[in-house]
Amino acid sequence: MFTQKLPRQSLGFFPTPLHRLQRLSAVLGGPQLFIKRDDQSGLAFGGNKTRKLEFILADALAQGADAIVTAGAAQSNHCRQTAAAAARMGLECHLLLGGHAPQQAQGNLLLDQLLGCHIHWTPGHRKGEDLNQVLRYLQKAGRKPYVAPYGGSSDLGALAFVGALEELRAQWADCGGPFTHIVFASSSGGTHAGLMLGARLLGLPTKIVGINIDKGAGGERPFAEHILDLSEQAATRLGVAESFSRGDLILDDGYLGEGYGVVGDAEREAIGLLARTEGILLDPVYTGRAMAGLLGLVRGGAFQASDRVLFWHTGGAPALFAYGDQLGLGDAPPL
Ligand SMILES: *Cc1c(COP(=O)(O)O)cnc(C)c1O
């Protein structure tokens, strides 16, 4: 177990469930599909950030922090899970959210408010560009703030997904052993970096296929480089030396749609199809787009019928309640 020795603060319910997608597989007529349910990780509606926060909050507590500061979009799942984790540990939480305060809070923002965090609106950006201001303010007030990285994607956040693969390996016997592919939404890179490093360290035959959901991911740098660096840094933190190059990385840029957080026909179809065939809810920003990517890959012949493809559900469904106007429910096919 590579991650066993690292300090970890229990925040969620693990292992998350793993099961088949029988009806979706039949409808598509392609490879056998499976799903890993990190949407059921249990912390205030769950999601992939809960895994990362178990390591990040352990670090914050070890450093004697009394406040957690992080940033994201107004409907950030990372911010909602961070707010819940901070509440659970009795820490103050400050969120820098992109945009302006809406008249009425919905979805994740409503939950942020219920969870009692302090919200700082940052018009024009959503990745913590104004973080130092809030830090200075807290330090002046005598607090010990700790910055949880954007999307929880530090070396610590990434290696949570090495642990996630260890968890998956321990439960996959019921589903017939290793998977040929794992498909998931990639955005701040921690999930991707951790799964890639985990597959390497555990010697898995699995292709780690990230669907890029944010054109601006990576900021100034190419997103791919950012993921490769994160994998190497997470390895270093585990005390192993691993190097990764562009050829090790599968990052599909073919489903970026109209931009971050904009729901298009592909996302609407994917969300509706999984809901109607399996009774599982995806989110409008990440998993809806990643599932659109999976559907596109299946229909485009990227897999063989004998392949066993795992979709990693990274959570996010609370955002559905803020996206009613974009989900076009009036267009659902008649029963
Ligand atoms: C943050 C998030 C992702 C992306 O994970 P990263 O590790 O940031 O790349 C995917 N899905 C959901 C629902 C998320 O909240």
Q: Give me the pLDDT at residue 334, please.
A: 59
The reply to whether 214 and 110 lie within a common domain is no
Q: What is the DSSP letter of 302?
A: -
Question: Can you give the length of the chain in residues?
Answer: 335
Q: Is residue 122 part of a domain?
A: yes
The reply to whether 93 and 206 lie within a common domain is no
Check if 191 has its Cβ closer than 6 Å to any atom of ligand 1.
Answer: yes
Q: Is residue 133 part of a domain?
A: yes
Q: Give me the pLDDT at residue 216, please.
A: 81
Q: Give me the pLDDT at residue 219, please.
A: 77
The reply to whether 286 and 142 lie within a common domain is no
Q: How far is the CA of 151 from the centre of ligand 1 (A)?
A: 7
Q: Is residue 5 part of a domain?
A: no
* Three-point CA angle 45, 61, 151, nearest 5°: 45
Task: Indicate the top mutation candidate among 35, 39, 48 to test ligand 1's pocket, ranked by most ligand atoms within 8 A of CB.
Answer: 48
> Which of 100, 127, 151 marks a domain boundary?
151
The reply to whether 24 and 112 lie within a common domain is no
Q: Is residue 100 part of a domain?
A: yes
Q: Is residue 8 part of a domain?
A: no
Q: Long-range contacts: 300-303, Cβ < 8 Å, 24+?
A: 303/30, 303/31, 303/180, 303/181
pLDDT tens for residues 143-174? 999 999 999 999 999 999 999 999 999 999 99
The reply to whether 147 and 65 lie within a common domain is yes
**pTM for the model:** 0.96
Residuewise pLDDT in 10s, the chain (335 residues): 889 889 999 999 999 999 999 999 999 998 999 999 999 999 999 999 999 999 999 999 999 999 999 999 999 999 999 999 999 999 999 999 999 999 999 999 999 999 999 999 998 887 878 899 999 999 999 999 999 999 999 999 999 999 999 999 999 999 998 999 999 999 999 999 999 999 999 999 999 999 999 988 877 789 999 999 999 999 999 999 999 999 999 999 999 999 999 999 999 999 999 999 999 999 999 999 999 999 999 999 999 999 999 999 999 999 999 999 999 765 555 55
The reply to whether 123 and 180 lie within a common domain is no
Q: What is the extent of the structural domain holding 22? A: 18-47+153-327
Q: How far is the CA of 214 from the centre of ligand 1 (A)?
A: 10
Nearest to 84 by CA among 107, 63, 108, 104: 108
Please count the structural domains in the chain: 2
Q: Is residue 177 part of a domain?
A: yes
The reply to whether 216 and 304 lie within a common domain is yes
Q: How far is the CA of 94 from the centre of ligand 1 (A)?
A: 20
The reply to whether 225 and 305 lie within a common domain is yes
Q: Is residue 86 part of a domain?
A: yes
Please, what is the end-to-end C-alpha distance for the chain in angstroms? 48
Catalytic center residues: 76
Please give the Cα distance from 270 to 211 (Å, whole number). 14
The reply to whether 164 and 284 lie within a common domain is yes
Which CATH number covers residue 105? 3.40.50.1100
The reply to whether 74 and 55 lie within a common domain is yes
Nearest to 45 by CA among 2, 4, 84, 3: 84
